[in-house]
Amino acid sequence: MTSAAKVPQIVLNDGNRIPQFGFGVFQIPPDDTAAAVRTALELGYRHIDTAEMYRNEKGVGQGVRDAGIERDEVFITSKLNNGFHKPDDARRAFDATIDALGFDYVDLFLIHWPLPTLYDGDFVSTWKTLEEFKKDGRARSIGVSNFGIHHLEELARDTEIVPAVNQIEVHPYFTNDAVRAYGLDHTIVTEAWSPIAQGDVLDDPVLGQIAQKIGKTPAQVVLRWHIERGDIVFPKSVTTERIRANIDIFDFELSDDQIDAITGLDKGVAGRRGPDPDTFDWIPK
């Protein structure tokens, strides 16, 4: 069986399906993105996670075309950049995403950050604008990223469509379980960003011992842990051997004790690598 055939599909709350495993392109330089995406697709990946902020959406579209993969065989996510939360700006930004990818729809479009200290704290009208993109069919599904429980509660109070996903920082040093649990209770699937904490967790002795015991690498063990917890993951790599190894995690399982040992590495907020969504207010120049 090919790697792509082994990746489970998750059914979102709007009925659409998403491959549970994919390829992230954060920090891949625009000029290198098409080649990296093509390599990933050739190695069986069928889900690509990009963002306007990464400035490499054009390379993602080009990589899909270069690989000769039909558009409906690959799941593509992009995200609204922080400077464009006002409805008219969001509409223009979404048009630019569609143009840059060179396709007429995205599978999933997210609000990248809630930015509660900007725009008078209003991410609700931004979300209502994403609802337009879902209704006109150019975003098959819509969701959010870096939303905490209180941000999600505010959306639930004031808007119609429940986000299909919430893409948040999750890895063994920051398991983010309260936000994950809220998602589970409200049909919002968690996507775990920086799933290997950009490499920081890989030297942990607990992971090293498990990896040695089952004959896998620490990265494969961590990625498998995410899969068994039910989250969606899309590790980033520009290294062909790592791209190949990262998806090779569908021929083994972790025991309950191994899963618990990895979850037990959580350091709470001290383990966070990225910004705090309650205070993050960066707008790219």
Report the alpha-carbon distance of residue 139 to residue 118 in Å, rounded: 25
Single residue of 89, 198, 248, 261 touching ligand NAP by CB under 6 A = 198
Report the alpha-carbon distance of residue 19 to residue 43 in Å, rounded: 15
Nearer to ligand NAP, 149 or 238 (CB): 238
Give, rounded to a whole angstrom, the gap between the first and last alpha carbons of the chain.
45
* Amino acid residing at 231: D
Binding mask 80-119 for ligand NAP (x = CB under 6 A): --------------------------------x-------
For residue 220, the minimal CB distance to ligand NAP (Å) is 7
Give ∠ CA 235-146-9 in degrees, rounded to 5: 50
Report the alpha-carbon distance of residue 6 to residue 108 in Å, rounded: 22
Both tokens of 31, joined, read: 């000029």
Single residue of 81, 145, 166, 258 touching ligand NAP by CB under 6 A = 145
Nearer to ligand NAP, 112 or 140 (CB): 112
Nearer to ligand NAP, 88 or 269 (CB): 269
Both tokens of 52, joined, read: 């306007």
Position 167 contacts ligand NAP (CB under 6 A): yes
Concerning whether 119 is annotated as a catalytic residue, the answer is no
Site for ligand NAP in 26-55 (CB under 6 A): 26, 49
Both tokens of 122, joined, read: 């209003």
Q: How many residues bind ligand NAP (CB under 6 A)?
A: 27
Single residue of 18, 111, 196, 207 touching ligand NAP by CB under 6 A = 196
Position 236 contacts ligand NAP (CB under 6 A): yes
Report the alpha-carbon distance of residue 263 to residue 45 in Å, rounded: 26
Active site residues: 54
